[in-house]
Structure 1
Amino acid sequence: MNDLPRLTSLAHGGGCGCKLAPSVLRELLADQPMAQAFPQLLVGTETSDDAAVWQVDDNTCVIATTDFFMPMVDDPRAFGRIAATNAISDIYAMGGRPIMALAILGMPIDKLAPERIREILEGGREICHQAGIPVAGGHSIDAPEPIYGLAVIGLCHPSELRRNADARPGDALILTKGLGVGIYSAAIKKGALDEAGVAEMVASATTLNRVGADLAKRADVHAITDVTGFGILGHGLEIARGARLRLRLRLTDLPLLSRAAELAEAGFVTGASTRNWAAYGAEVALPEGLPLWQRALLTDPQTSGGLLVACAPEAAGEVLDFIRDAGFPLAAIVGHAEQGVAGISVE
């Protein structure tokens, strides 16, 4: 068994750190036709939201998403579970409930034994079972690097749809999971994270964000997005741009995985973190003299990260308690939205 290749050694990147930089993605999508030609398409590419939404009738919206990436852990089953959790999260972030998934699989079949590939698929099925949905099919190819993920379909009532662009001035901002997944994955790739650290990261990344569907039933919850490959700053900026607001984040209130600060200060930072800052740093105001390792926490790509929730300020405490009771003990109020030039200020 010791001569088997590590999954992470077969990929040049891992998890949501594989995503194209935000600036590159915007350039690629710049000339795409706008969604107004299809009035039933309630959410398309305009605001970089988490999934596409099509209204079928007065009571039903179909939510569609796809997400896949290369491994950021070496255990095949854990990789499958993380990838599936991450993909399903887009449905919850729109306020919906998933109904089925299709598997997306690309594997270097000359380097990975069939039983290890089956473990990846089984991990994905386990999470889909937890979410109460089937893996109803999929597509597979022979690929030079291991890739796995899901296309997921969900439903919601139009009144429960939550866009990332609907935050309001004065809204409190709540983050449901701790930051640091990319930093942990960088440490894993270099063999510098112990079993307890790996277990902590996997536990966070395999916690389904199903609370998003419950939050969407509340009129005082205005906007939701999930924090993934662009980090808390990148996905916060998507809210800020869409709503034309300025977000103010409190650095000391941001929840972190237990060793995230320690590992970031020691230099375990992903390349995606640096690309993220290069892509959107001009829209962010940071405290003067902020160390680079603390900036890395803000740009750290989260794989299957938490939800960033914008809610009425008078309801923030009640909403936070609800989220914590739903199984998110690190959830915290991390800032607020206000009138101003779209962007983020970190205090």
Structure 2
Amino acid sequence: MSWYSKIYTRVREIRANNCFLGTILTFCLNIFLVIQILGLFYSMYVYVTITVGYYVQYKAQAIVYLIISTYLFLMTLWSLMRTIFTRPARVPSNYQPSKELQDQLAAVTPYINNRFEADKSTPAQIQSQNVILEEMCRSLNIKVAECDQFGRIKYCYECGHIKPDRTRHCSSCGKCCVKYDHHCPWINTCVTHSNYKYFLCYVCYTTIFVYWFLFTSIEGVVRYFIWQKWMEDLSKIIIYTVLMLFGCVFGYFPLGELVIFHWSLVGYNETTVEQTKPAVLRNDNMADYNMGKSANFEHALGWGLWGCPIESKVSDGMHFDIRYVVLEKNHFIRVSQEIGGPENSANDTPTPTPNDTR
């Protein structure tokens, strides 16, 4: 559990016992978000009043600077608002089995320190759990491809439902999220299937805005030394120095590295948690979700307008094409098949149909 997950968990515990104090602490979790918003507005104010309004000497240049900076600022703000106000994707109710089956599963799962510890199950318990989990899928008429390290269908004991593929339980929020990427303390929300595009837009536009501010503000620093108005412009150069220092730091880490990291993830059709702990797929533990860069970007960012934070998803975040790998005549064959959904049966085994030989 990460440091911020421990904080979120503790706040939830306090809120359960003291609603007033818990509400205050919950609001305080937005501190990083508030700092970012204030920083964006203040940076834009400094850029307009000092860089464009004071140091830039040519009207045409000032107009171009103002147009570009305003566009980047508005797109950054729009992307941020879409990210934080879009509800994280949750597991639908049709993945929740009957109370009877839940009780049967709980009866064969170790319960230690007030929580279920499925990973500490005996081989006999694992076998019984598998039977019950398969029955859950049959009764719900759903099919999932992912499993845990013991080959069991993934089930959340805290939320009480079968986990759709690529769904993870967020320890910070205490709920399962569909195509969970990570919980971001900087914006105080989960990044999931529903808001991943907006989050990526926010990170990209913020990074571009920071570097635009840095590069175009160099002219102001140069003019300060040329004009030699040491005391008259001292307050301006101090503000410049502080903002440029923060810009250099945050432009490299975390913003710059986040852009590189997430574009790499999109290219391989992975999430942040899958990059650290790859998904295990039944019937073929070498299978993955990588369908090629073009298909991967379309799946993550939608049908088009990738640079615009508008709705463009092409999937529901619970059904995915899977590349299965089967060994045949000493070479691998990649195949694609969509898994999951109420239209499939739980015990159907995917039959690979080769479409790309490697």
| TM-score bucket of the superposed structures, by smaller chain | under 0.3
Q: TM-score, normalised by structure 2?
A: 0.22
Bigger Rg, which one: 2
Greater strand share, 1 or 2?
1
RCO higher in structure (CA 8 A, sep ≥6) = 1
Greater helix share, 1 or 2?
2
